[in-house]
Structure 1
Amino acid sequence: MNINSNTVVSITYELHTTTPEGQQVFVEKANEENPLVFLFGVGMMLPKFEEHLQGLKAGDEYSFELSPAEGYGEIDPAAHVDLPIDMFKEAGGDLPSVGDVIPLQDNQGNHFRAGVTGVHEEYISVDLNHPMAGKNLIFSGKILTVREATAEELSHGHAHGADGHSGH
């Protein structure tokens, strides 16, 4: 069976990015013991990632590179904000440190993460860009399984494991 909309795909992958000097940097991987399993064609994955996998079948290997525009976008210099330090003090616990990734929520209740770039007397500076923004994403791996999604998976909008029986 080939990968198409409404199929459940199980894959291995390695993800690398490149430094400005062209050196590849390892980011993460999924192996055969702990594969990435997802419902294809429902918007859970990057569109260009899925485009490169469409039509492949179990046993096929793949390797491709996504530009920043095809991945998580270019770095937006305006996506840096200063948050009042009081909002962190009111939450209790320790103040974040430079390099920490902190959970935030906007006025509409949307959750996201931000990287702390500065800790000052009256405010905390954060970068709201995705950590992979501005980076080329280099993927390689193998298609392990492809199967039709179950009616329950389609109604839930996500895969219930490689066999269709894992889940919630």
Structure 2
Amino acid sequence: MKIEDDMVVQFHYTLKDEQGEVIESSVLQDPIAYLHGHDNMMPGVEDAIHGKNVGDKFSITPAAKDTYGERLPDAEQRVSLKHLTGADKWQPGMSALVNTDQGQRQVTIVKVGKFMATVDLNHPFAGRDLRFDIEVVSARAATDEEIAHGHAHGVGGHQH
């Protein structure tokens, strides 16, 4: 079954850095599920999966702009420590989560004061051309409800 728009696709991935070291992987977890063709996946990954078949395994190294984005040089902001989650004591270089109007956002601590922290808003992988090893594990036609909602439901997708 070829992957096309309006299909729910499940896949496993292993993300590797420029030296081939594993950064993260879904292999020992539930596969990632998304609604293909509805901007629910990084463009570089979705483009590579389009037209593939269930069972296909392949590697890609999309440009940073098609995954985690280009690194923005002036993307720092001061945030109250009470708005950071993920640790009790903060140090430069640590990752934190900040709640925003668009949901949680991962940031990197640049500098810590008594009440405020300077954070880098770039994703930690921004600006990097990373390798994705992908295995397409299943695909099915999306339900009318999934298409109307704009996302996959069930394991690996959105839970209502």
Q: Is TM > 0.5 for Structure 1 vs Structure 2?
A: yes
Which runs of at least 4 in structure 1 moved beyond 6 Å after TM superposition? none
Q: Larger radius of gyration, structure 1 or 2? A: 1
Displacement of 1:77 in angstroms is: 1.5
Whole-Å separation in 2 of the counterparts to 1:98 and 1:82: 13
Whole-Å separation in 2 of the counterparts to 1:89 and 1:33: 32
Residue 64 (structure 1) aligned to one of 36, 60, 67: 60
Displacement of 1:79 in angstroms is: 0.5
2:23 corresponds to 1:30: no
Instruction: Name the residue aligned to 1:103.
Output: 97
Q: Secondary structure at the match of 2:17?
A: strand
Instruction: Name the residue aligned to 2:48.
Output: 52
Instruction: Name the residue aligned to 1:81.
Output: 77
Cα distance, 1:49–1:131 mapped onto 2, change above 3 Å: same
TM-score normalized by the length of structure 1: 0.79
Whole-Å separation in 2 of the counterparts to 1:54 and 1:90: 39
Instruction: Name the residue aligned to 2:152.
Output: 159
Aligned length: 157
Whole-Å separation in 1 of the counterparts to 2:93 and 2:156: 39
TM-score normalized by the length of structure 2: 0.83
Structure 2 gap ranges (5+):
none
Identity of aligned residues (%): 32
